Amino acid sequence: MKTVGILGGGQLGRMMIEAAHRIGVKCIVLDAPNCPAKQVDGGSSHIDGSFKDADDVKRLADLCDVVTTEIEHVNTDALEEIATRVDVQPTADTLRCIQDKYLQKQRLSARNVALPAFLDAPNSDTILEAAKQFGYPLVLKSRTLAYDGRGNYVVHSESEIPEAMMALGKRPLYVEKFVPFKMEIAVMVVKTLDGKHYAYPTVETVQKNNVCQLVYAPARISPSLQEKAQTLAKEAVEAFTGAGIYGVEMFVLEDGTILLNEIAPRPHNSGHYTIEACATSQFEAHLRAVVGLPFNEGNTQMATSSTHALMVNLLGTEDPEYVNRIAQRSLTIPGATLHLYGKDKSTKGRKMGHITIIADSLGDCEARYAQLLAGEKEGAEKASVEANVKKPLIGIIMGSDSDLPVMKTAAEILESFDIPYELTIVSAHRTPTRMYNYARSAASRGIRVIIAGAGGAAHLPGMVAALTPLPVVGVPVKGSTLDGVDSLHSIVQMPRGVPVATVAINNSTNAALLAAKILGTSRPDLLKKLQAYMDKMESEVLVKAEKIESLGWREY
């Protein structure tokens, strides 16, 4: 097995080494003594020094078969030099190109990767020139040494330019057109030694002051948009040489356009969720890629079909006890895993650790996250969380409020099983647009089953079924004529290809039970409750049977 030298021993190196132990890869870290990575390894050959120092880098190379990195701001000249003796993954060329954001974008642009428009802008004249082309606001960016948003400045008018240049210091600058994105997303891409690319799921990153606060896995966008992002991310990584994992950050615009933001040639904050949520973590993926161990599509998948994750960065605040308090509280939250990085001092904005919350849905993750922050005033992430309500899993809809007396029993049954639902009126004939929108959006809003009740020419259940991949349960509601047989036939006799799960006339109890049974196929807890419900029905009848037998039918 090859020995891997790692430039940098922060939290990324630390988590890389944890993976290395499990798969039997020996690692040697170059960084300061007692850095987070060295704390978790008993190997004595680590090097105390700096990944920016050429001699230190060469000393590391002498001990290793492969040299890789957990940070992009390394000495690339030294890397180039040692590449004649050891494997360097990813390559010095890749790191050098990515260190300079302008060069990075030029390379991506040359390969037609979709990007916000950008221009070199070394001085105020060129910035003004760019402003003419892009308009305001525009984003003034530092080409080098920019990470976690340090090095970005949104300029709203010409008068702000001097201030922006001052803030960015003496670093070389370029300008990007401001992109009014609706969401920031990211994809981790693994490039193997033989040049294959594998994409992890598309995740959503919630940033504040350009620092990642939360990661939703998967992103709350449609599956087809998620796939589009994975494809774009893989295309972007193809522009660079060298094996390893790459973090690819992107913007999603209102119209569904996806633009590349930037790339990190290493494990990335937006990929921490993979430790608990995916078959193989980004850290193990990186190691496997750089030493040439097997890796395939299966390694990038979510651990199970119902795995959802919310990753919370544990950032220092002005309250020195904040991190400790949240870390302790995380131990009481179901499905939360705490990762502390072994850093001594919690200063404002410092990444002290992270917490990954796993649950069956992102709604459940959010509810647990709200528990985590309960009572906190601080915690920038707090604001971004939606209300601590359980997201509905079942949608109950009916054609008219006159159906409510029949349909409300479904709601009562769902409440008795503690299943969150929503209930509303959607008429196929009187509100066709509303029906269309309801049915089309239901799956992406997290609804898992729709219960639709209708009477007469009862089109609602079938029309909704035609518009959603979700299972639809139909309740024929009895009208004033024909005894409900009209509704029953209208609901049940659907053409091939579009099923409606039809229950008995007026029997919304059974519709709700059926919906519960459907959820029960993936929830053993619910299956157990359903069995208990059946047992209760049975014993109720048995009590009556005993009574009728002991009293005699005349007395009964």
Binding mask 474-503 for a copy of itself (x = CB under 8 A): --------------x---xxxxxxxxxxxx
Which of the stretches 105-113, 188-196, 305-313, 431-439 binds a copy of itself when contact is defined by CB under 8 A?
A: 305-313
Query: Considering the complex, what minimum distance in angstroms separates the CB of residue 80 from a copy of itself?
Result: 31
- Which residue in the set 157, 296, 437, 539 belongs to the binding site for a copy of itself (CB under 8 A)? 296
Is the peptide bond preceding residue 432 cis, with omega within 30 degrees of 0?
no
Q: How many Cβ atoms from other residues are within 10 Å of residue 392's Cβ? A: 19
Q: Which of 375, 371, 380 shows the shortest CA–CA distance to 349? A: 380
Which of the stretches 206-214, 313-321, 427-435, 507-515 binds a copy of itself when contact is defined by CB under 8 A?
A: 507-515
Tell whether residue 288 is a contact of a copy of itself (CB under 8 A): yes
Closer CB to a copy of itself, 113 or 398, in the complex: 398
Tell whether residue 306 is a contact of a copy of itself (CB under 8 A): yes
Phi first, then psi, for residue 95 (nearest 5°) are -65, -40
Query: Considering the complex, what minimum distance in angstroms separates the CB of residue 266 from a copy of itself?
Result: 21
Closer CB to a copy of itself, 187 or 518, in the complex: 518
- Which residue in the set 23, 166, 542, 548 belongs to the binding site for a copy of itself (CB under 8 A)? 23
Binding mask 411-450 for a copy of itself (x = CB under 8 A): --------------------------------x----xx-
Tell whether residue 402 is a contact of a copy of itself (CB under 8 A): no
Tell whether residue 282 is a contact of a copy of itself (CB under 8 A): no
Tell whether residue 3 is a contact of a copy of itself (CB under 8 A): no
Q: Which residues are CB-neighbours of 537 under 8 A, at least 6 positions away? A: none
Query: Considering the complex, what minimum distance in angstroms separates the CB of residue 380 from a copy of itself?
Result: 22
Q: Which residues are CB-neighbours of 551 under 8 A, at least 6 positions away? A: none
Query: Considering the complex, what minimum distance in angstroms separates the CB of residue 519 from a copy of itself?
Result: 6
Strand partners, 184: 205, 251
Query: Considering the complex, what minimum distance in angstroms separates the CB of residue 7 from a copy of itself?
Result: 18
Tell whether residue 294 is a contact of a copy of itself (CB under 8 A): yes
Q: Which of 175, 220, 214 shows the shortest CA–CA distance to 202? A: 220
Tell whether residue 298 is a contact of a copy of itself (CB under 8 A): yes
CA-to-CA separations, 15 to 20, 32, 165, 246, 292, in angstroms, rounded: 9, 17, 37, 16, 19
Query: Considering the complex, what minimum distance in angstroms separates the CB of residue 202 from a copy of itself?
Result: 12
Closer CB to a copy of itself, 209 or 444, in the complex: 444
Which of the stretches 74-82, 154-162, 311-319, 518-526 binds a copy of itself when contact is defined by CB under 8 A?
A: 518-526
Query: Considering the complex, what minimum distance in angstroms separates the CB of residue 530 from a copy of itself?
Result: 4
Closer CB to a copy of itself, 178 or 533, in the complex: 533
Query: Considering the complex, what minimum distance in angstroms separates the CB of residue 277 from a copy of itself?
Result: 9
Which residue has 């105020």 as its token pair?
Answer: 124
* Angle, alpha carbons 269-383-146 (nearest 5°): 35
- Which residue in the set 531, 539, 546, 556 belongs to the binding site for a copy of itself (CB under 8 A)? 531
Q: Number of residues in contact with a copy of itself, rule: CB under 8 A?
A: 93
Query: Considering the complex, what minimum distance in angstroms separates the CB of residue 239 from a copy of itself?
Result: 27
- Which residue in the set 4, 71, 139, 358 belongs to the binding site for a copy of itself (CB under 8 A)? 358
Q: Tell me, letter by letter, the H, E, C secondary structure of 293-345.
A: CCCCHHHHCECCCCCEEEEEEEECCCCCCHHHHHHHHHCCCCCEEEEECCCCC
Which of the stretches 91-99, 234-242, 259-267, 505-513 binds a copy of itself when contact is defined by CB under 8 A?
A: 505-513
Which of the stretches 95-103, 109-117, 251-259, 291-299 binds a copy of itself when contact is defined by CB under 8 A?
A: 291-299
Report strand pairing: 173-177 vs 138-142.
Answer: antiparallel
Tell whether residue 470 is a contact of a copy of itself (CB under 8 A): yes
CA-to-CA separations, 270 to 148, 367, 410, 423, 544, in angstroms, rounded: 12, 21, 41, 36, 60
Tell whether residue 24 is a contact of a copy of itself (CB under 8 A): yes
Q: Which of 478, 360, 473, 458 shows the shortest CA–CA distance to 414? A: 473
Give CA–CA dist 285/287, Å, rounded.
Answer: 6
Query: Considering the complex, what minimum distance in angstroms separates the CB of residue 257 from a copy of itself?
Result: 22
Closer CB to a copy of itself, 114 or 338, in the complex: 338
Footprint (CB under 8 A) of a copy of itself, residues 92-151: none
Query: Considering the complex, what minimum distance in angstroms separates the CB of residue 98 from a copy of itself?
Result: 28
Sign of CA dihedral 294, 64, 353, 169: negative
Q: Which of 490, 443, 342 shows the shortest CA–CA distance to 33? A: 342
CA-to-CA separations, 99 to 172, 211, 482, 549, 551, in angstroms, rounded: 12, 18, 75, 86, 89
Give CA–CA dist 233/257, Å, rounded.
Answer: 14
Tell whether residue 388 is a contact of a copy of itself (CB under 8 A): no
Give CA–CA dist 80/74, Å, rounded.
Answer: 11
- Which residue in the set 200, 295, 369, 417 belongs to the binding site for a copy of itself (CB under 8 A)? 295
The secondary structure of residue 150, as a DSSP letter, is: B
Please check whether residue 176 is in contact with residue 104, taking contact to mean a CB–CB distance below 8 angstroms: no
Footprint (CB under 8 A) of a copy of itself, residues 311-350: 327-328, 331-340, 342
Q: Which of 187, 297, 289, 292 shows the shortest CA–CA distance to 243? A: 289
Closer CB to a copy of itself, 209 or 522, in the complex: 522
Closer CB to a copy of itself, 485 or 551, in the complex: 485
Footprint (CB under 8 A) of a copy of itself, residues 207-246: 223
Q: Which of 258, 265, 368 shows the shortest CA–CA distance to 312? A: 368
Strand partners, 421: 394
Closer CB to a copy of itself, 67 or 275, in the complex: 275
